[in-house]
Amino acid sequence: MSQDQRQRSSPSPAFLPTTAAEMAALGWDACDVVIATPDAYVDHPSFAMALLGRFLQYHGYRVGILTQPRWRDPQSFLGLGAPRIAFVVSGGNADSMVLNYTASGKPRKEDQYCEGGNPFFSRPGQGRKYRIRPDRVVTVYASQIRTVCRDRPLIIGGIEASLRRIAHYDTWSDTVRRSVLFDARADLLVYGMGEYPLLEAVRGFEKGLSAGEMAVPSTAVARRTLDGLDDPVVLPSFAEVTTDKQAFAEAFCRFSRNGDRRVLAQQQDSRSLVQFPRRILSQEELDAVYDLAFARSPHPRFRDVPAFRMIRDSITAHRGCFGTCSFCAIAAHQGPDIVSRSEESVLREAARVAAAPGFRGVITDIGGPSANMYAATCRIGGCDAPDCLRQGEACPHLVPGTEAYLRLLDGALGVEGVRRVFVTSGLRFDRALMDDAFLEGIVARHVSGQLKVAPESGSDRVLRLMHKPPVSVFEEFRRRFEACTERSGHTTYLVPYIIVGHPGEGEIEFEETRQFLDAQGLAGRQFQIFTPSPLTRATAMYYLGYDPCTGEEVAVEKRMKVLEERKKRLLR
């Protein structure tokens, strides 16, 4: 059956099937693609399995969602049978190790992506319980699928896989680990936001191609030779980076400088990881993803998913972030290029949100990784080493999109049924992205009483290592904010986000942060101990004890008792 015939003949279910019975009710004898996920299936565009599944469905494929399989039983991965084309393992909306453990290594007692926040399969009194989300979920799921089905291609993706696509430092085991593609024994890894790369890979596998025969943008595969590749960027091998910290630093810097623009290779064993350049979506392509039909609710087998409650009435306006913060994984995952949806596409979604049962008139967020990067562009079309904000001094080629973003927010207020539109996903306070007109509009119409900002630290030395603006930039922003608040007549507070224990923070730098918060009159509970995430520059500093690209020595405090005490001192 051709793709067009399949698309015409397949019904468009309210929810993608999660069981064999639901498949049978649709008249399907098999799925083309089965997506396995540790998250509760929520058919909303903020959930990876829904975006991927609906996108493949739109392009004619029968997709099943294997939501939260009982991973200790390999047979549970055949709950929808063997797919006709491929298994896809989505690591979920967040990293399993971050969701399962606090920064101090203590097991978490809640999981916002599970029913009722309960992270265990069985409740107390109902037998021995174990976590719904296993540690290193991508590797575990892939291993179990390989146990029961060896003859179907296996694709892995999501932020957990994306951040582990090359040899990387893993804080939980305190070791350098090889690419997750090899640990998972997967055929192909999709990095970044994966709808279009996944579609191209599925089409390739449907044609009978092997992963080694494909060169899909935004993917990585294993190859025995580098023959036929056009001048790849070659990183020091896994064997080298595990025994030589200087080799690790060199690998990180080559990877970072490449920016996913050229083919990249790194030997892992007798084979090499080969990563193809990142695919940058057009606005029309991004609109097409978010214009898909979603139920915008959890599958009927789930009643209360806390993560859904938080984002039910929110809208994604763009992808990407050019902030280049040392500690942040967004640049490595989504990339620094801003791809914004059209105003028309966002407003169409706002109308769908407003028409949904139970809507109370408030769109809780229209944003992205940094909300006020919406519609930002570059006068020269980008460069090899993007540093658009330059720690407070914007690049002269940066064209802010603040006027377009404010127009978008105000436009959503005109949608029938919408009373208020807020921004809750976080705003950069750099003047280039927070001009006077934008700040006035945000404070007057789009803040619910608290404005989240992220000074991150009160020490200029730490801020420089974070690649964040110095304290003076925040001080100037706060003065402008207070003046706007007074003119608006609203009572609005700044809620700061602070990272405790970032590389470079000693007792002196911590005390500077404490004094900074006191001097600025800032208080809150958004104080988090630094958690090293794979592929970030801060994590490389944490592991090496120096900046991998400059060689500057960096003090690193790893004693958790000291860090927990610092956090308590900020909370007092």
- Judge residue 397's burial from the number of C-beta atoms within 10 Å of its C-beta, 0-12 exposed, 13-18 middle, 19 or more buried: middle
Q: Identify the three-state secondary structure at position 154.
A: strand
Q: What is the pLDDT of residue 9?
A: 41
Quickly list DSSP for 464-507: HHHT---HHHHHHHHHHHHHHHHHHT---EEEEEEEES-TT--H
On whether residue 241 sits in a domain, the answer given is no
Q: What is the pLDDT of residue 2?
A: 47
The reply to whether 89 and 182 lie within a common domain is yes
Provide the pLDDT confidence category of residue 7 given band limits of 50, 70 and 90. very low
Domain boundary among 421, 446, 471: 446
- The per-residue pLDDT for range 107-123, each reduced to its tens digit, is 999 999 999 999 999 76
Which whole-number Å values give the CA distances from 154 to 148, 211, 255, 363, 484, in the listed order?
12, 10, 25, 38, 53
On whether residue 121 sits in a domain, the answer given is yes
User: Does 489 score more than 90 pLDDT?
Assistant: no
The encoded tokens of residue 6 equal: 């399949």
Provide the pLDDT confidence category of residue 525 given band limits of 50, 70 and 90. confident
Compute the mean pLDDT over every residue in the chain, rounded to the nearest whole number. Answer: 94
The reply to whether 79 and 162 lie within a common domain is yes
On whether residue 302 sits in a domain, the answer given is no
User: Does 254 score more than 80 pLDDT?
Assistant: yes
Provide the pLDDT confidence category of residue 384 given band limits of 50, 70 and 90. confident
- The per-residue pLDDT for range 131-164, each reduced to its tens digit, is 999 999 999 999 999 999 999 999 999 999 999 9
Beta strands in 216-294 (DSSP E): 219-223, 233-234, 264-267, 272-275
Measured from the Cβ of residue 525, the count of other Cβ atoms closer than 10 Å reads 9
Lowest-confidence pick of 47-51, 194-198, 287-291, 482-486: 482-486
Identify which of 47, 80, 48 has the alpha carbon closest to the alpha carbon of residue 64.
Answer: 80
Domain boundary among 423, 446, 469: 446
- The per-residue pLDDT for range 557-567, each reduced to its tens digit, is 999 999 999 99
User: Using CA atoms, how far apart are residues 144 and 232, in angstroms rounded to an integer?
Assistant: 33
The reply to whether 381 and 360 lie within a common domain is yes
Q: What is the pLDDT of residue 4?
A: 45
197 vs 524, more confident: 197
C-beta separation of 389 from 323 below 8 A: yes
Q: What is the pLDDT of residue 307?
A: 97
On whether residue 47 sits in a domain, the answer given is yes
The reply to whether 118 and 188 lie within a common domain is yes
Length of the chain equals 572
The reply to whether 403 and 484 lie within a common domain is no
User: Using CA atoms, how far apart are residues 222 and 180, in angstroms rounded to an integer?
Assistant: 11
Determine what percent of the chain is predicted with pLDDT higher than 70. 97
The reply to whether 519 and 536 lie within a common domain is yes
On whether residue 542 sits in a domain, the answer given is yes
Q: What is the pLDDT of residue 5?
A: 43
Provide the pLDDT confidence category of residue 385 given band limits of 50, 70 and 90. confident
Question: Could you give the count of Cα atoms lying within 13 Å of 229 in the half-sphere of its Cβ?
Answer: 26
Q: What is the pLDDT of residue 391?
A: 80
Packing angle, helices 471-488 and 507-520, rounded to 10: 20
What average pLDDT does this structure show over 540-558? Answer: 97
Q: What is the pLDDT of residue 367?
A: 95
Determine what percent of the chain is predicted with pLDDT higher than 90. 88
Beta strands in 260-351 (DSSP E): 264-267, 272-275, 297-298, 314-316, 318-319, 339-340
The reply to whether 337 and 410 lie within a common domain is yes
On whether residue 233 sits in a domain, the answer given is no
Q: What is the pLDDT of residue 448?
A: 86
**DSSP 8-state class, residue 546:** B
The reply to whether 96 and 180 lie within a common domain is yes
- Residue 389's CATH number: 3.30.750.210
- The per-residue pLDDT for range 330-346, each reduced to its tens digit, is 888 999 999 999 999 99
User: Using CA atoms, how far apart are residues 317 and 58, in angstroms rounded to an integer?
Assistant: 21
The reply to whether 163 and 45 lie within a common domain is yes
The reply to whether 66 and 98 lie within a common domain is yes
The encoded tokens of residue 496 equal: 């700061």
Backbone φ and ψ of 331, nearest 5°: -60, -40
- Residue 498's CATH number: 3.30.750.200
Provide the pLDDT confidence category of residue 426 given band limits of 50, 70 and 90. confident
On whether residue 289 sits in a domain, the answer given is no
- The per-residue pLDDT for range 179-211, each reduced to its tens digit, is 999 999 999 999 999 999 999 999 999 999 999
| pTM for this entry | 0.95
Structural domain tally of the chain?
3
User: Using CA atoms, how far apart are residues 157 and 87, in angstroms rounded to an integer?
Assistant: 11
Residue type, 462: V
φ/ψ region of 353 (left if φ > 0, alpha if ψ in -120 to 50, else beta) reads alpha
The reply to whether 471 and 427 lie within a common domain is no
Backbone φ and ψ of 377, nearest 5°: -135, 180
Identify which of 325, 554, 560 has the alpha carbon closest to the alpha carbon of residue 457.
Answer: 325
- The per-residue pLDDT for range 9-28, each reduced to its tens digit, is 455 689 999 999 999 999 99
Lowest-confidence pick of 315-319, 325-329, 384-388, 536-540: 384-388
Domain boundary among 446, 474, 506: 446
**DSSP 8-state class, residue 372:** G
The reply to whether 511 and 410 lie within a common domain is no
On whether residue 287 sits in a domain, the answer given is no
Q: Identify the three-state secondary structure at position 87.
A: strand
Provide the pLDDT confidence category of residue 3 given band limits of 50, 70 and 90. very low
Structural domain containing residue 163: 3-222+270-275
